[in-house]
Amino acid sequence: MRKRKTLKSKDKTQKEKKKEKEEEEEEEIEKIEKIQKPKFSLAHSLYQKKFILLLFLFRIANSYLCQTFADPDEYWQSLEVAHNVVYGYGHLTWEWITALRGYLHPMIFAGLYYFLSLLGLDENRFIFLQSPGVLQAFFGSLTDFYTYKIAKHWFGYKVANFSLILSLSSWFMWFYSTRTVSNSLETTLVIIGLYYWSSSPHVLFKSRKKISIAIFLFSIAFMIRPTSAIIFGCLGLCSLKKLNNWNHRFKFLFVIVAPIFVSVFILSTIIDTIMFKRPTIVFWNFLKFNLLSGNSEIYGTHPWHWYLSQGIPAILTSFLPLLLFSIWLQFKNSNLGQSFLNKIKSKNNNKNKSNKNTKSRDQNKDQKKNKNRYNQKNFTSESKSDFYMYQLKKKKQNEMAKYRNKNRDRNRNKNNQDGNKYIDYNNKVSNYYPNGNQNSSTGQMYLIFFIIIVNVFVYSLLGHKEFRFLLPIVPLLLIVCSFSLVNFSEPKSTEEKSELTGHKIFFWSVLILLILIQVFSSAYFGMIHQRGRVTVMNFLSDEANSYQMDNKEMDVMFLTQCHATPWYSHIHKNISMSFPDCSPRLKELNNLGKVPDSQFFEDQTLKYVTKKFANIGNDPTHIVTFDNFWIKMKDFLESKNYKICNTNFNTHFPVDRELQKYVYVLCKNE
């Protein structure tokens, strides 16, 4: 009985100790929270608004100057669906029949179209076409702004400034950030969420505003593109690892993450159920179709190394050397890299021992000579000037050392006084943050590398690969590249410091050269490459207006591969248009055993066209085709009284198929 009583008393004491520890931790957390509340600054908030406005104006110009065709999803999975929702006409691809896509992303542009229709601005063609780009330009400017804020929060102003320069000059960000593909909005949500996640305090803090915003944004990104769960999962694993207490982990998962994620999931499911007119969980359909059924390879496959050998090099182009050098710097400063380099040095030292011994003897002799030379007793009138110069150099070196130490102390005091930065309270703050010690840039660098590596690895496992799939990690790649620029911009040796102007001129000339390569790529791919696919729709829109004025019916037949151009969202006229169907062979579409029209057209162009004209009643008023197809069916169409009435330059080199240099519009002569 006595033993049982003693055991019970021990259990009580242990429980009491645990409670006391938890209470102490909560008290410490409250103290830290009071210290770290940022002070509101009107000047700072106005500066941020001006900063975002300038970035927004830059991206508006980007949207206007980017006049080429990038990807069918830019129109067919966003604007076309939104046009169908608001105006009642617009083509829905097979993904919307099988409910593989959610309405959350298109509804953003549907709201924009509805707003324009209320104001009567949708009749103005320029406003109607440019307004989605302006909205996406706003999202793109937020991506730039929060890329800068992440870099500044983690690594300081120098890295942040270079990150912003690289983000604004990157041809890939120029090419995609203002387009209406879901990857662009996903990137914005991920980058903003990553900033709020990294700057959020401990889960037990009463003010969970930042971490809640981050989880909300990640949840929306997941509903738009489920692949964003890769980044969210990486951050979640790192946070759970840093939380040593299982009670904290439980609160983090089920008190903070789960309610926000479930609420967004329910909202998205309600929207999809209303729009599809049946109970629909898009995430499950997406997972079942792409992963469980293995249908992600419908649009082609690539080798496993494609992202490493082609994807990232093409995305970064001239910035690729900066990435490689930053990786080398990180490896060099890591424990693994230092041990590896030390082994190499030890081997070289063993080989060169004999040479070093001889050199050290010579150096000792020279030092003795110099001591005798600068000894005041042995001075002559000729060597006095050398002695005074030697003393002046020593004084300057001592003054510079004192100045550096003072600056270090000042910077430390400023960092501790700054309310936006984190203060190490009794050396225990790092234990109360999901992301570890917020002042350690090496930990954040490892986190960035972890996110990049996991993303590239997971995407490499999938058969179908595209450049735009890596868009959410491109800002992180640019932050990594900026470390090389910071390293190069700071002179290391005393000789470089004495020739500081020459070093700066060389550094900025190299950086400008790298940026010029990016600008050239931006101009070519944004204004020239595949431009004809968009300009041909401008011609058809003008033709539709003239036909409407004359009360005539217009019928356009596209003899191209499917989804080769924008559609009703660009013409904004309810005219008859058709193209070869390219839907995959699925049970849900009731087309098993049939050859897709697009494949039949590309393999046997003339046979497809003759069969098509035999089955239609009236000949179309206009035909749109590429020059490579026109050669194969020229004689047949000319016999039907079709002639080229509009020519649009498209590209200089082939993309995924044979060269399609021009886009032709054929008009029927009555």
Each residue's pLDDT tens digit, 205-259: 555 788 899 999 999 999 999 989 999 999 988 888 877 778 878 888 888 899 9
- Looking at residue 199, its pLDDT comes to 78
Interhelix angle 182-198/209-224, nearest 10 degrees: 160
- The residue among 357, 338, 337 whose CA lies nearest residue 349 is 357
Domain ranges of the chain: 42-65+98-334+433-527, 532-668
Average pLDDT over residues 78-89: 96
For the record, the structure tokens of 380 come out as 């002559």
91 or 12, higher pLDDT: 91
Each residue's pLDDT tens digit, 562-584: 999 999 999 999 999 999 988 88
Average pLDDT over residues 635-646: 94
pLDDT band at 6 (very low <50, low <70, confident <90, very high): low
Chain mean pLDDT for the chain: 82
Point out which residues pair with 668 in neighbouring strands.
642
Cα separations in angstroms, 544 against 13, 129, 618 = 85, 16, 18
Average pLDDT over residues 614-629: 92
Query: Full-prediction pTM beyond 0.85?
Result: no
Helices (H) and strands (E) in the chain, counts: 30, 5
- Looking at residue 462, its pLDDT comes to 86
Each residue's pLDDT tens digit, 450-478: 999 999 999 999 888 999 999 999 999 99
Collapsed DSSP state (helix, strand, coil) of residue 661: coil
| Maximal CA-CA distance, the chain | 116
**Contacts of residue 109, Cβ cutoff 8 Å, sequence gap at least 6:** 78, 79, 82, 132, 135, 180
What is d(CA 545, CA 550) in angstroms, rounded to the nearest whole number? 9
Share of the chain above pLDDT 90, in %: 54
Q: 303-307, 364-368, 437-441: lowest mean pLDDT where?
A: 437-441
Residue 390, CB half-sphere, CA atoms under 13 Å: how many? 11
Cα separations in angstroms, 409 against 156, 401, 417, 418 = 17, 13, 12, 14
For the record, the structure tokens of 55 come out as 């970035």
pLDDT band at 594 (very low <50, low <70, confident <90, very high): confident
Residue with tokens 């239609």: 616
- The residue among 31, 28, 116 whose CA lies nearest residue 79 is 116
